[in-house]
Structure 1
Amino acid sequence: MKGNKRVLALALSAVLTLTGLAGCGQSDKSAGSTAGASGGGAKSRAQDTIIYAQGADPRGLDPALVDDGESGKVIVNIYEGLLKYSKDSTQIEPSLAEKWDISNDGLTYTFYLRKGVKFQDGTDFNAEAVKINLDRQLPPKVTEDMVYAGFVFGSVKDVEVVDDLTVKINLTAPSTPFLNNLAMCMGAPMISPKALEENGNNVNEHPVGTGPYTFVSWTKGQNIVLKRNDNYWGEKAVTTNVIFKFIPDNSARVVALDNGEADIIDGIDATVVQQIEGSGNKIYKAQGMNINYLAYNTTRAPFNDVKVRTAISQAINVPELVQSLYQGYAEPATSVLPTFIPGYDASIAQVAFDQAAAKAALAGAGVNKLHIITYTNPRPYNTANGQALAEAIQGYLKNVGVTATIDAFDWTTYKEKVKAGDYDICFYGWIGDNGDPDNFMNLMADKDPRMNVARYDNAAYKELIAKGLTIPNGDERNKVYTDLEKMAAKEAVWLPISHATTLVGYRSNVKDFNYHTTGVIFLSEASKD
């Protein structure tokens, strides 16, 4: 771990220099800060920095150009959207928009913007900035690498600037989840128009938002450094500096936590919980809004045949697999939707384990080999990592006469491999963005292969998806998503594996971080005693 300590020292040195802390012995006080070991109300330099360790670098820091949780955790501390979720749920609250109106026909949303907000580069936040942010993700400007554009703005027709602080968003059809979409950490956050212009419409490495922290630096494979935005329109962040540190190995992250090289870590699994607690640190646990699944490439033989997909699924004992890999910190998935999402129905049944039937069906179809791709790092929905999951599946398939070859990649490379589509089976997962069932079930209707990794294309399924968007929340709408679940299970598009318990390790002196149900962490209120 000496190398990690050296990296940490360099990162701390850099951030202390940038924020004027080096040699001064005391930081500016802000709401919620506590006295440090130096006494007299002064805080030590270490207490002015929160270090969050995760398993991989973000793919980028432009909310329109990424779709992964590693990016989202950093993004939510730099940017904000028109709306936000409440601290403990996906209920909508005002953010950069103070209030809004919806027309009687559900086709026009009028947002009244907060006055006096500036982006971190000094640019004014106003209605024109909103229009620029939305227009870049709408035809004809939207690009294929804007993965979330369809999710967030697929129903948007156009955007009108009414005046400096009023903007109208017109839809092509009513969209029940639209307000929830505007609080998401992907696609929806507002970026400085000046930064977009100066960086060729891509701020993946030059993020500028309105949020409580500003971007300082990104050393690939090591860390991202943020500092408090002292010009923030709302309550200032408690802690001056935040470092997102990248440690791919689970056990190394635990050692970093135990040694004080990290204050909070994610991506932990059941095998290290006792070690973390035994060292005097703490575990945050919560029911996860997620799904961990195996997806078949439905566009190529033999997995374009539902009978073959069903037979492979029959070969896998999901409850046994989940208990072995996650040891009580995940529950077997009987559906795509977590149990607390509207539309969940306990009567839905996935393909059941039947080794003998699987062996006979696969032999009859002449299937004796297949190609698996997977990822090497832990994910919030799969803390055992994708390679361990793939190898477990490989063992089950061997028992029914099928040889599975596995190619494993780091997360960034894996995303590109999924996009290319050279696989029979891949492993993926999803953390709900907004608490709406469409956010899960639309994954099998999306035209983007980085979202719809099964590449499933079913007209009847898509018709139901479109219908669900227009129906108000309630029993009728819930039934649409139950029916979609049943269709997906009958077609064996995925083999749902598990819903993971959210596990975060943190040092006992850390308080008031908010690990949200959407899988991101808000650090502006976090501090250390």
Structure 2
Amino acid sequence: MKKKLALVIAPLLAVTMLVGCGGNSSSQAGDKPAASAEAGTAADANIADTLVFAQGAEPRGLDPAFVDDGESSKVIVNVYEGLLAYAKDSTELEPCLAESWEVSEDGLSYTFKLRQGVKFHDGTDFNADAVKVNIDRQLPPLRQEDMPYASFVYADVKDVVVVDEYTVQINLTKKNTAFLANLAMSLAAPIASPTALEANGGNLNESPVGTGPYKFVEWNPSEDIILTRNDEYWREPAKTKNIVFKFIPDNSARIVALKSGEVDMIDGIDSTGVDQIKADGNELYNVSGMNINYMAYNTTRAPFDNVAVRTALSKAVNVPELVTALYGDYAELATTILPTFMPGYSADVKQVEYDPEAAKAELAAAGFNQPIKMIVYNNPRPYNARNKALAESIQSYWSKVGVEVTIEDYDWTTYKDKVVAGDYDVCFYGWIGDNGDPDNFLNLLCDQSPAMNVAKLNDEKLSAMIAEGTSTEKGEARNTIYTEAEKYIASLAVWLPISHANSLSAYSPAVQNYTYHPTGNIFFREMYKNK
């Protein structure tokens, strides 16, 4: 006996709106490919051919198995799709390349019925073999070290079995409550063309091929990425013919570009730019963010492997004052790694409190007397648009307790390499939640990927707590596990939680159907601009 979890779409009933799979709201999902765009949106003479979106950094790559950054993800979600998708404005799950699914009673086997008649952009048929190829390449022994999300999304996968051409079964080694949510994520989970993978040596970072509403055209380094509409898309084709992702590192320069009409949409906005955006007559998109912005100590380097030293240094930083000064009304003080609306959050979790006099005394008692090497990224991040100012603020706090700090700043791509190399005492990091589950926040802290676990922590007790939470059914018992994990994390003083940023972006009033997903992605299929 199996538990039926699929969303059933019954014919002859009222149309059910499915969203999130390559875009926003759509017509009823069915088996037949949609009609050509020639009969639809392209015929509307009032719609502009191109939308231009400006972001603060260039993607690290366009193969979902090999990247872990938001800049890459924003492009990826418009080119690729996964078995499942999220709803337009939430992380509620919906069918996508899988029409339905069943989970065995023991929670160890997931059987997916796949959508028929779907083709990749290169003409390859989407089927069960394609799913197996994409997951197998991210499992041992094929998994490569530079696949940062593979160990998170597929950690508990035992094997993938092709049942028939349009049925695939994924078997787990242990129960994973977040597994279905993981399969809708924009990293590791999207399905790439097996033909393209073979032709490109298993890496599509520079030549992405998916099933999504847009096809890759070209990447002009340091300038832009261009996509064009997939007129053979299995659903209604996109309303806008071309999408351009433009790279403008400077925050104020992006605002100017929006004002001049050079671009239609921007993100990476900080509080200092909000008034200008409104004065220019553009629209501000401002909602609570599903993210975390934090500082981490490198626990593999003495004396930062000493909890007493970490605690004393954190006591020297007035985090509430810092958050107010840097982010104003556009971020919330982080008292835990989890945002306040996430299951498992508790106001009972207490971080190290500001006490500079105690910091001085405790640093002296620990024999701390050395400069700190701090690294920071110089591109704005959605969870922290005041990146350099944050580093300098903490440098100032530490100077008041006699600690010298040297700051090295790097562009985002170089910064990621520096984080992996581990040559720092303190660094800054954060992310936007990928799937709306607390596992996606706390698991990443102790994941042994050097690209994610920037504190380099290897703590068996915390790992056991996270593993227990992952395999526990959703509910109060699971929430309690994550609350206790948060309390333990606070006691380690490895991470200094700083803020949960509001999700801020801006767009021209000529842009219609604009939305910015809670996961930090932007889906363009339903968006268009009036001429």
Do they superpose with TM above 0.5?
A: yes
Q: What is the alpha-carbon distance in structure 2 between the residues aligned to residue 30 and residue 224 of structure 1?
A: 27
**Matched AA of 1:245:** K
1:161–1:167 CA contact under 8 A, matched in 2: yes
- Does the alignment pair 1:58 with 2:59? yes
**Matched AA of 2:178:** P
Match of 1:301 in 2: 302
Match of 2:235 in 1: 234
2:213–2:238 CA contact under 8 A, matched in 1: yes
2:82–2:96 CA contact under 8 A, matched in 1: yes
Q: How does 1:477-516 map to 2 (within 5 A)?
A: 477-516=478-517
**Matched AA of 1:260:** G
Match of 1:441 in 2: 442
Match of 1:384 in 2: 386
Unaligned runs of 5+ in 2: 1-35
- Does the alignment pair 1:327 with 2:334? no
1:374 is aligned, of 368, 373, 376, to: 376
Distance apart, 1:83 and its partner CA: 0.2
**Matched AA of 1:275:** Q
Distance apart, 1:43 and its partner CA: 3.8
Partner SS state of residue 190, structure 2: coil
Match of 2:29 in 1: none
Q: What is the alpha-carbon distance in structure 1 between the residues aligned to residue 514 and residue 116 of structure 2?
A: 28
1:343–1:482 CA contact under 8 A, matched in 2: yes
**Matched AA of 1:375:** Y
Match of 1:316 in 2: 317
Match of 1:216 in 2: 217
Q: How does 1:24-423 map to 2 (within 5 A)?
A: 41-43=44-46, 47-368=48-369, 369-385=371-387, 387-423=388-424
**Matched AA of 2:230:** N
Distance apart, 1:365 and its partner CA: 2.2
For residues 432-461 of structure 1, what are the alpha-carbon distances to aligned partners after superposition, in whole Å with 9 as ceiling and x for unaligned? Answer: 000110100012221111111011111111
Runs of 4+ in 1 over 4 A off after TM superposition: 27-33
Q: What is the alpha-carbon distance in structure 2 between the residues aligned to residue 154 and residue 315 of structure 1?
A: 38
Partner SS state of residue 329, structure 2: coil
For residues 366-409 of structure 1, what are the alpha-carbon distances to aligned partners after superposition, in whole Å with 9 as ceiling and x for unaligned? Answer: 32321101100100000112x22111110000000000001110
1:381–1:500 CA contact under 8 A, matched in 2: yes
Q: What is the alpha-carbon distance in structure 2 between the residues aligned to residue 505 and residue 229 of structure 1?
A: 26
Match of 1:19 in 2: none
2:215–2:228 CA contact under 8 A, matched in 1: yes
Change (3 A) 1:28 1:122: closer
Query: What TM-score, normalized to structure 2?
Result: 0.92
1:30–1:236 CA contact under 8 A, matched in 2: no
**Matched AA of 2:333:** P
Q: Does 115-124 or 465-474 show the bigger shift?
A: 465-474
1:285–1:503 CA contact under 8 A, matched in 2: yes
Q: What is the alpha-carbon distance in structure 2 between the residues aligned to residue 340 and residue 31 of structure 1?
A: 40
2:293–2:498 CA contact under 8 A, matched in 1: yes
Q: What is the alpha-carbon distance in structure 1 between the residues aligned to residue 350 and residue 39 of structure 2?
A: 52
Partner SS state of residue 170, structure 1: strand
Q: What is the alpha-carbon distance in structure 1 between the residues aligned to residue 463 and residue 275 of structure 2?
A: 45
Distance apart, 1:311 and its partner CA: 0.6
**Matched AA of 2:497:** P
Distance apart, 1:300 and its partner CA: 1.3
Q: How does 1:3-22 map to 2 (within 5 A)?
A: none
**Matched AA of 2:376:** T
1:513–1:524 CA contact under 8 A, matched in 2: no
Distance apart, 1:513 and its partner CA: 2.8
Match of 1:461 in 2: 462
Match of 2:11 in 1: none
Q: What is the alpha-carbon distance in structure 2 between the residues aligned to residue 59 and residue 484 of structure 1?
A: 32
Distance apart, 1:29 and its partner CA: 5.5
Alignment RMSD: 1.2
Partner SS state of residue 328, structure 1: helix
**Matched AA of 2:63:** D
2:37–2:237 CA contact under 8 A, matched in 1: no
Change (3 A) 1:514 1:86: same
Match of 1:4 in 2: none
1:30–1:237 CA contact under 8 A, matched in 2: no
Change (3 A) 1:30 1:279: farther
Q: What is the alpha-carbon distance in structure 2 between the residues aligned to residue 490 and residue 90 of structure 1?
A: 31
Q: Does 112-121 or 464-473 show the bigger shift?
A: 464-473
Q: Number of aligned pairs?
A: 494
Match of 1:5 in 2: none
Q: What is the alpha-carbon distance in structure 1 between the residues aligned to residue 185 and residue 314 of structure 2?
A: 33
